[in-house]
Structure 1
Amino acid sequence: MHRLRHGDHGPAVAEIRGTLTKLGYLHHGTSGIRRESADGAHWVAPDAIFDHQLDSAVRAFQQQRGLLVDGIVGPATYRSLREASYRLGARTLIYQLSAPLYGDDVAALQAKLQDLGFYAGRVDGFFGPQTHESLSSFQREIGIAADGICGPQTLRSLELLGTRVTGGSPHAISEEELVRRKGPQLGGKRIVIDPGLGGPSTGTIVNGISEADILWDLAMRLEGRMAATGMETFLSRPHNADPTEAERALTSNAFDADLMISLRCDSNSSPSANGVASFHFGNSHGSVSMIGQVLTGFVQREIV
């Protein structure tokens, strides 16, 4: 899709404005034409403008969803907007190999199944085989057709059996136990080091030194020092390639890595810009990587 940003206008901007209004990031008083419908107010102005208010709303949404906060609605932000607009019960949920379902409605279903003790995976909004099996187990337990399809009858049963006390994550507990069993030492662990950019993607070049050069040099130094302490290290890419984020993740999974460390640089036009940030996996549904969270704290502490 075309990347939309401040200053753009048209029906696509109206769609984004409508979605963010429905999600509570925009007030009804912002510019546009409002039409009431069964699923709430949404904006249908044929030539809606991507103004400052919409820019702020997009950034707030990106921040909440763990996306790059740039105010630009590209493929990732647009996909996340669509996923966030789904509410449990608005559509039938089913496991589809060819076109898997993603959305906040799937996350809500996973959370309900988790509270009832049927789902022990990560609440990620992806209707995969684990969600299908958990839903089928719930259906068998309460005596309805165990087809793994979340339709009206299953939803009614989930509401009737909703727990009084919620919270806690079986997935987090199992991940903590996995980390505990592997021991506190990094020696013997399989680590993937992921330097950003690469090949034709150099990033910003200053005084003949590029972001890609810095990242590759840092990766080489890390690899040598980590290997010297007994870790099994791999690089996510060769020097002359720039794989996609998905390809880098697939490489890490193929190595069956215990840990993946991604190295990235950034640039700013201001000479006073400085600092370091460390990130670990997390999503807007409350799921986080426990080992990533611990390691990120150590990395940030040591660098600072």
Structure 2
Amino acid sequence: MPRVNKPATILAAATLSITAGLTGAPAALADGPNTPASIVAEIEARKWPVLEKGDENFQVKFAEYLLNDYGYYPHARPKGVFTEDLVKAAKKFQKAYKLPVTGKIDAETWNDMRDTYGQVGRGSRTQKVRAVQSALREGYYYNIIVDGIYGPRTESAVRNFQYKVGIGVDGIVGPITFRALVTGGD
């Protein structure tokens, strides 16, 4: 039986594992693959909006759609008003993710909502798509229908939005585009 060099074998296995991990990286990392580091840093430095009971804006509707998709909010047709039902949904989400249970959508809650989001792109049909469509329509005035179907018009609007804010244009809503949509993109 040939003698095996254990340190070399371990190093080779680790290298193979790392290489496989990079080539098999989740597609969510593809969001804006050609985005300059300075743009990513600028977007990541933006403050998340803190939403609380009584607030009315497109970010509230965005959160409503996501919490519905995640199973915490029973209303499939959000209104964009932070009601007591949304306070309860936020608390359920926060409790499930071991966050401070405030009932507000704060920075920690947004971060975990974004981490849970993953990505959406052509062919997706979810409440997450409705969140994107509603943000593009109501927050950035794109003429698209909020139907939950990520088709050519939604992809075109996402690509246009990415171009405007300096994100590498790929038509996929992942973590970078998500944050730009919520925190103000243009």
TM-score by length of 2: 0.39
Structure with the bigger percentage of strand:
1
Structure with the bigger percentage of helix:
2
Q: Give the structure with higher Rg (CA).
A: 1
TM-score by length of 1: 0.25
